[in-house]
Amino acid sequence: MIPVRGFEGQNVAVLGLGRSGLSAARALQAGGAMVLAWDDNPAARDRAEAEGFTLRDLTRQGAFGDIASLVVSPGIPHLYPAPNPVIAAAWEAGVPVDNDIGLFFRSLGLSDWAGHDTPPRVIAVTGSNGKSTTSALIHHLLCAVGRESQLAGNIGRGVLDIDPPGDGGVVVLELSSYQTDLARALTPDVAVFTNLSPDHLDRHAGLGGYFAAKRRLFAEGGPDRAVIGVDEAEGRYMANQLAEGPADDRVIRVSVGRKLTGPGWQVFARKGFLAEWRKGRQVAAIDLRDITGLPGAHNHQNACAAYAALRALGAAPREIEAGLHSFAGLPHRSQTIAERDGVRFVNDSKATNVDAALKALLAFDRIRWICGGLMKEGGLAGLAPGLGHVAKAYVIGREAEGFALQLSGIEAEICTTMEVAVARAAAEAQPGEVVLLAPAAASFDQYDNFEKRGEDFAARVAALG
């Protein structure tokens, strides 16, 4: 645990008592604060009370009279589409509002690091797509090169649940826009921006607000090094804002769309090869094409970002290359779960929208595609560039017929259930083909979440024998 400092003997309110809220409450208490907890859900309040926390109804008039700070869980809106009433009341009372990420950066290393020969470091990763894979890959690579590493934030453990890092240790944080938007302290040593595409627009009042929330990770404290994906205009803008000139190697630009040139520090992937250029010359190259855990251009972008982060900490290219080959991938994200008779089975249940599913389709040459579920707004037209890779689609979900009607130009079989889809795809797949679960739809018509859907796919594949 990272005890939260600076509130000894003071009342601190915690709103939202899920994983991050309870973690924050424990860390505040460990640092000497008096925690006053609240959640609209009675069951959540009961859990907090069972742990010994004092409850206070923060919705009542005058609740903030003796409170020094309010700590808010990331799922609670603080500005758009409308401020939560409790947060609005804190504003009126002049009470500072923060979240667990802000508390983490405020408290990490305040008095514990004087005896370290090599100070610990924090790498923070944000962006729209690939955050989880990039964060997990950085963590994996650090372990592979012999560095102590902990993975936390939006993946792994809560940020305040981790152990205080040891000498030379590295904390890798995946941070969502909900987390970066509110944190009052954001001071990583290395900050990574993967890419930007529209998401959570209601919560941020549009794409500009969404990008502004991501940008705070780079603007609030200023990392020592910034790894910036520059395949979108927003990334190019941010790299330009952070760099003092063309040769400023505090900014490492990353691309999978083009070769990057110039006197600065660049890492890019083209046709499956990663290249690192610095001061106008190539210093390393890695063939990514046969790395099973990182298929497709979207994963090559993740590999470039993770490689750059490791290089920023001084790791050698060949050490990083070896670690890339041993990365198995994250569950439900382009995860190879089996190979049978020359057929590869890949679980990308996390591909819950058209953009993510398209990236999965483009990663393989000939696909038996299991798709379908609860369709999202906008239809399936965006999948068109990847349909040429599909030998046949096997459609699941309660809306299977309607989903299949939108897949023009390819053969589609209505299977409805995962059991039927896996059996049919496996029976018809030829050596060299991939049976790919990339639903392009939400899971809630048949499953509690995308993880359950991916687990069902894996179980059906395992049952094939």
Q: Do 165 and 289 share a domain, yes or no?
A: yes
The answer to whether the annotation marks 146 as part of a ligand binding site is no
What are phi and psi for residue 90, nearest 5 degrees?
A: -65, -40
According to the model, what pLDDT value does residue 62 have?
Answer: 94
The answer to whether the annotation marks 129 as part of a ligand binding site is yes
Contact status, residue 128 vs residue 196, Cβ threshold 8 Å: yes
In a domain, 2, yes or no: no
CA-closest candidate to residue 436, choices 345, 349, 354: 345
The answer to whether the annotation marks 130 as part of a ligand binding site is yes
Q: Do 210 and 290 share a domain, yes or no?
A: yes
Residue 240, pLDDT > 80, answer yes
What average pLDDT does the segment 442-448 reach? 93
Contact status, residue 264 vs residue 251, Cβ threshold 8 Å: yes
What average pLDDT does the segment 401-413 reach? 94
180-224 pLDDT per residue, tens: 999 999 999 999 999 998 778 889 999 999 999 999 999 988 899
Q: Do 288 and 271 share a domain, yes or no?
A: yes
Q: Where among 98, 121, 144 does a domain terminate?
A: 98
Q: Do 260 and 286 share a domain, yes or no?
A: yes
Contact status, residue 253 vs residue 261, Cβ threshold 8 Å: no
The answer to whether the annotation marks 372 as part of a ligand binding site is no
Q: Do 448 and 352 share a domain, yes or no?
A: yes
The answer to whether the annotation marks 73 as part of a ligand binding site is no
Quote the CA–CA distance of 162 and 100 in Å, as a whole number.
12
Q: Do 250 and 391 share a domain, yes or no?
A: no
Q: Are strands 265-270 and 273-278 parallel, antiparallel or unpaired?
A: antiparallel
Beta strands in 288-432 (DSSP E): 335-340, 343-347, 367-371, 390-396, 412-416
Q: Where among 325, 351, 370 does a domain terminate?
A: 325
Q: Do 37 and 154 share a domain, yes or no?
A: no
What average pLDDT does the segment 396-404 reach? 95
What average pLDDT does the segment 234-250 reach? 96
Q: Where among 98, 119, 152 does a domain terminate?
A: 98
48-89 pLDDT per residue, tens: 999 999 999 999 999 999 999 999 999 899 999 999 999 999
What average pLDDT does the segment 122-135 reach? 94
Domain of 52, CATH number, reads 3.40.50.720
119 prior amide bond cis, ω within 30: no
The answer to whether the annotation marks 279 as part of a ligand binding site is no
Q: Do 267 and 134 share a domain, yes or no?
A: yes
Minimum mean pLDDT among 2-16, 88-102, 109-123, 298-312: which range? Answer: 109-123
In a domain, 422, yes or no: yes
Domain count for the chain = 3
419-429 pLDDT per residue, tens: 999 999 999 99
Q: Do 349 and 384 share a domain, yes or no?
A: yes
Domain of 458, CATH number, reads 3.90.190.20
The answer to whether the annotation marks 197 as part of a ligand binding site is no
Q: Do 152 and 93 share a domain, yes or no?
A: no
Domain of 269, CATH number, reads 3.40.1190.10
